[in-house]
Amino acid sequence: LNQIKSYCQTKDISELKHSLEETLADLNQQINSLQQIQRHTEDYLRRIQLLESARNKDAYIELRPMQERYAYILEINYTIDRLQDYIAMMQESYAHSPLRSAEPGRVVLGIRQQELEQKSVRVYHTIGHMLDCPVADAKVRTYPAGLFAIACHLGGYDTIASTYKKLLAYIDAHGYRIIGDSLEISVVDTAYTENSDEFVTEIQIPVVENSEV
């Protein structure tokens, strides 16, 4: 209102233009802030919904299209019992990388496509942090957009192999084939609960129908 009053008093078109540009910039900033809050709220709500779904089923499985994503990745072979050691190693690597000023996202693990095709799910081949946007760095990996078969695992990592096997059986039974490495993303972990029985992990495997080239 003060801006309108000022324009009415001066009738200066240049001043009005400058005032409107400032107003537009402020509005865009508010919109971006609200959109970020919306994304975080939706993310937290989805985590709760996944937990509720997983409580009612041994393994919640669905097909879901996903957008292109990015992650800071280390390629190392390790078994799940060494997970904490490799998380510490990955975090130290990230802290000394050019990306150290960027806020890392959730920890992501991965098993190579060849191992998944052979139903071998005991050894992991990648560990990293999800990122909000692409970054030019040798350790940043792009995960292309596409269709993913996704299983929601409820419980600790000591039983996650059984959920992998259910997901792989689902892929075969529904006429799909694997076209890339898995993405294993923590949804509910020690940041939300100390009870490992309530941990929720998403296993995501990129797939296409067998009829597709």
DSSP 53-121: HHHTSSEEEEEEEE--EEEEEEEEEEEGGGHHHHHHHHHHHHHTSTTTTSPP--EEEE--HHHHHTT--
Kindly report whether the global pTM for this prediction surpasses the value 0.85.
no
Q: What is the pLDDT of residues 95-106, one digit of tens each?
A: 888 887 666 778
Q: Phi/psi at 89 (nearest 5 deg)?
A: -65, -45
User: Shortest CA distance to 200 belongs to which of 151, 162, 132, 164?
Assistant: 151
The pLDDT of residue 79 is 87
| Measured distance CA(135)–CA(57) in Å, rounded | 38
The pLDDT of residue 142 is 93
The pLDDT of residue 6 is 66
The pLDDT of residue 155 is 83
At 127, list the tokens: 């560990």
The pLDDT of residue 96 is 86
| Measured distance CA(203)–CA(162) in Å, rounded | 12
| Measured distance CA(79)–CA(160) in Å, rounded | 12
The pLDDT of residue 51 is 63
Are the C-beta atoms of residues 175 and 209 closer than 8 Å to each other?
yes
Q: What is the pLDDT of residues 46-67, one digit of tens each?
A: 666 666 666 666 557 889 899 9
Residues of the chain short of pLDDT 50, as ranges, are: none
The pLDDT of residue 70 is 92
The pLDDT of residue 9 is 67
Residue 119 — left, alpha, or beta (φ > 0 → left; ψ -120 to 50 → alpha)? Answer: left
The pLDDT of residue 208 is 96
The pLDDT of residue 32 is 85
The pLDDT of residue 55 is 64
The pLDDT of residue 83 is 81
